[in-house]
Amino acid sequence: MSNHPPLRRYHAPVWDEPLAMEMSVAGRRGQHYPIVDADDLVPAAMRRQAPPELPEISEPDVLRHYLRLSQQTMGMMGISLFGTCTMKYNPRLHEKLAAGPHVAEMHPEQHPDTMQGLLECVWRLEDALKALSGMARFSFQPAGGADAAYTQACITRAYHAAHGDADRRTQIVTSIQSHPCNPATAAAAGFDIVTLPLESNGYPSIQALRAALSDRTAALFINNPDDMGVYNPEIRDWVDAVHAAGGLCFYDHANFNGVMGKIRAADLGFDACMFMLHKTFGVPKGGGGPAVGAYGCTEKLAPFLPGPLVAKDGNGFAVEPGAASSIGRVREYWGNIHQVMKAYGWVAAMGAEGIAEASDISVALNNYMEKKLLAIRGVTRSHPDQPGWRLEMTRYSLGQLYEETGVGGGDVQNRMADFGIDAFWMAHEPWIFPHPFTPEAGEMWSREDIDYWIAVLAHVCDEAYRDPDMVKSAPHNQAVGKLAGDDLDDPAVWATTWAAWQRKHGG
Amino acid sequence: MRAHPYMPNSAPALKAAILAELGLDDAEPLFGQIPEDHRLREALPLPLPPAITSEVELSRHLRGILAKNRHCLDNISFLGGGCWQHHVPAVVDEIVGRSEFLTPVWGTPSSDLGRNQAWFEFTSQLGALLGMEMVGLPVYSWGCAAGHAIRMAARITGRGKVLVPAEMSPERRMVVDNYCAAAGAGRAIEVVAIATDSATGRLDLGDLDARLGADVAAVYFENPAYLGMIESDAAAIVEAAHKAGALAIVGVDPISLGVLSPPSDYGADIAVGSTQPLGVHMHGGGGLGGFIASRDEAIYAHEYPTLLNSMTRTAAGERVFAMSLMHQSSYGAREEGKDWTGNSTYLWAIANAAYMALLGPLGFRELGALILRRAHDAARQIASVPGISVAHPSGFFKEFVVDFGGTGQSLDAIDEALRVRGIFGGIDLGARLPGREHQALYCVTECHSPADIDRLVTALREVCA
Decide if pLDDT at A1 tops 60. Answer: no
Residues 298-317 of chain A with CB under 8 A from chain B are: none
Q: Among candidates A22, A417, A64, A88, which has minimal Cα distance to B109? A: A417
Question: H or E segment at B9?
Answer: none
Distance of CA A115 to the CA centre of its chain: 29
**Cis before A434? omega within 30:** no
A189-217: pLDDT as tens digits: 999 999 999 998 889 999 999 999 999 99
How far apart (Å, rounded) are the C-alpha atoms in residues B377 and B374?
Answer: 5
How crowded is the C-beta side of A367, counted as CA atoms within 13 Å? Answer: 25
Query: Does residue B463 sit in helix, strand or coil?
Result: helix
Among the partner residues A33, A166, A358, nearest to B363 by beta-carbon distance = A33
What's the DSSP call for residue B138?
Answer: P
Residue B55: list chain A partners with CB under 8 A.
Answer: 93
CA dihedral B101, B104, B105, B110 (to 10 degrees): -100
Residue A91: list chain B partners with CB under 8 A.
Answer: 6
Interchain contact B241–A (C-beta under 8 A): no
Residue B54: list chain A partners with CB under 8 A.
Answer: none
b/e code A335-358 from CB counts within 10 Å (16+ = b)? bbbbbbbbbbbbbbbbbbbbbbbb
Residue B179: list chain A partners with CB under 8 A.
Answer: 188
How far apart (Å, rounded) are the C-alpha atoms in residues B465 and B462?
Answer: 5
Decide if pLDDT at B43 tops 80. Answer: no
Residues contacting residue A413 through CB under 8 Å, at least 6 positions apart: A423, A424, A426, B108
Residue A368: list chain B partners with CB under 8 A.
Answer: 18, 21-22
Tell me the pLDDT band of A2, cut-offs 50, 70 and 90: low
Whether the ipTM is more than 0.95: the answer is: yes
Contact assignment for A288 to B124 by CB distance below 8 Å = no
- Residues found in chain A: 507
Domain ranges of chain B: 1-33, 76-87+361-463, 91-355
DSSP per position, B152-184: HHHHHH---EEEEETTS-HHHHHHHHHHH--SS
Largest CA distance in chain A: 77
Residue B300: list chain A partners with CB under 8 A.
Answer: none
Query: Partners of B319 in the beta sheet?
Result: B313
Structure pTM? 0.98
Contact assignment for A104 to B283 by CB distance below 8 Å = yes
Decide if pLDDT at B88 tops 70. Answer: yes
Query: Partners of B293 in the beta sheet?
Result: B135, B271
Q: Is residue B395 within 8 Å of residue B376, measured between CB atoms?
A: no
How far apart (Å, rounded) are the C-alpha atoms in residues B364 and A52?
Answer: 9
Interchain contact A374–B (C-beta under 8 A): no
Terminal CA-CA length for chain B: 65
Residues contacting residue B354 through CB under 8 Å, at least 6 positions apart: A62, A66, B89, B91, B92, B95, B96, B118, B279
Query: Partners of A82 in the beta sheet?
Result: A439
Residue B65: list chain A partners with CB under 8 A.
Answer: 117, 120-121, 124
Contact assignment for A328 to B174 by CB distance below 8 Å = yes
- Structural domains in chain A plus CATH codes: 20-44+51-71 (no CATH), 94-100+133-350 (3.40.640.10), 353-472 (3.90.1150.10)
Among the partner residues A12, A63, A484, nearest to B313 by beta-carbon distance = A484
How far apart (Å, rounded) are the C-alpha atoms in residues B421 and B156?
Answer: 52
Decide if pLDDT at A73 tops 70. Answer: yes
Q: Which residue in B has a C-alpha nearest to residue A155's C-alpha?
A: B178
Terminal CA-CA length for chain A: 48
Query: Does residue A178 sit in helix, strand or coil?
Result: coil
Chain A to chain B Cβ contacts (< 8 Å): 745
Interchain contact B4–A (C-beta under 8 A): yes
Test mutation, A36, A331, A449, chain B, max B CBs within 10 A: A331
Mean model confidence pLDDT for chain B: 97
pLDDT more than 70, % of chain A: 100
Interchain contact A31–B (C-beta under 8 A): yes
Query: What would be the CATH architecture of the domain defined by B76-87+361-463?
Result: Alpha-Beta Complex (3.90)
Residues 382-441 of chain A with CB under 8 A from chain B are: 388-391, 413-414, 417, 422-423, 425, 428-430
Q: Which residue in B has a C-alpha nearest to residue A159's C-alpha?
A: B183
Phi-psi region of A316 (alpha: psi -120 to 50; beta: other; left: phi over 0): beta
Minimal CA separation from A166 to chain B, in Å = 6
b/e code A248-260 from CB counts within 10 Å (16+ = b)? bbbbbbbbbbbbb
Query: Partners of B271 in the beta sheet?
Result: B250, B293
Among the partner residues A110, A150, A289, nearest to B345 by beta-carbon distance = A289
Interchain contact A131–B (C-beta under 8 A): yes
Among the partner residues A91, A145, A361, nearest to B10 by beta-carbon distance = A361
Decide if pLDDT at B40 tops 90. Answer: no
Decide if pLDDT at B10 tops 90. Answer: yes
Q: Among candidates A57, A480, A30, A474, which has minimal Cα distance to B116? A: A480
Minimal CA separation from A382 to chain B, in Å = 16
A30-39: pLDDT as tens digits: 999 999 999 9
Average pLDDT over every residue of B139-148: 98
Test mutation, B1, B9, B151, chain A, max A CBs within 10 A: B9
Contact assignment for B22 to A351 by CB distance below 8 Å = no
A7-23: pLDDT as tens digits: 999 999 999 999 999 99
CA distances from A114 to A317, A494, B70, B171 (A): 11, 48, 5, 20
Residue B185's pLDDT is 84
Dihedral pair phi/psi, residue A474, rounded to 5° = -70, 160
Residue A208's pLDDT is 97
Residue B45's pLDDT is 57
Angle between helices A92-99 and B55-66 (to 10 degrees): 20
Burial class (CB in 10 A: 0-12, 13-18, 19+), B274: buried
What is the CATH topology of the domain spanning B91-355? Answer: Aspartate Aminotransferase; domain 2 (3.40.640)
DSSP per position, A223-265: ESS-TTS---TTHHHHHHHHHHTT-EEEEEGGG-TTTTTT--T
Minimal CA separation from B465 to chain A, in Å = 23
Tell me the pLDDT band of A481, cut-offs 50, 70 and 90: very high
Angle between helices B346-383 and B113-130 (to 10 degrees): 30
Minimal CA separation from B334 to chain A, in Å = 5
Interchain contact A291–B (C-beta under 8 A): yes
Contact assignment for A336 to B372 by CB distance below 8 Å = no
B284-321: pLDDT as tens digits: 999 999 999 999 999 999 999 999 999 999 999 999 99
